[in-house]
Amino acid sequence: MVRRSKADADHSEIANIRELIKTWREEKEASDKLNVMMREELDKLHIEVQKLRNMQRRILDKLDKITHQNMEKIIQQIKQELQHDSQD
């Protein structure tokens, strides 16, 4: 009887460990998928930040070139660039 109880306990413990391993694997797979999604989103954000930095540099360059004579022209160019860039 004692031997049977020990065998049942061992069997139960092994079943619990198997279930734990199964749960851990499922959680690991879900975590890996989430990491891939987050990496892809981070890459997209990095590209967007680069675009915005480039746009900012171009605008600052144009603002440095503004004089009283060309102010309207430069402002129009900046507006056009912003509209063009916002469509991308």
DSSP-derived letter for residue 69 is T
Confidence of residue 31 (pLDDT cuts 50, 70, 90): very high
Beta strand spans in 6-82 (E)? none
Can you give the pTM of this predicted structure?
A: 0.64
Tokens coding 14? 């092994």
Instruction: Summarize pLDDT for 17-28 with one digit per residue, the tens.
Output: 999 999 999 999
CB atoms within 10 A of CB 74: 16
Q: Are the C-beta atoms of residues 63 and 79 closer than 8 Å to each other?
A: no
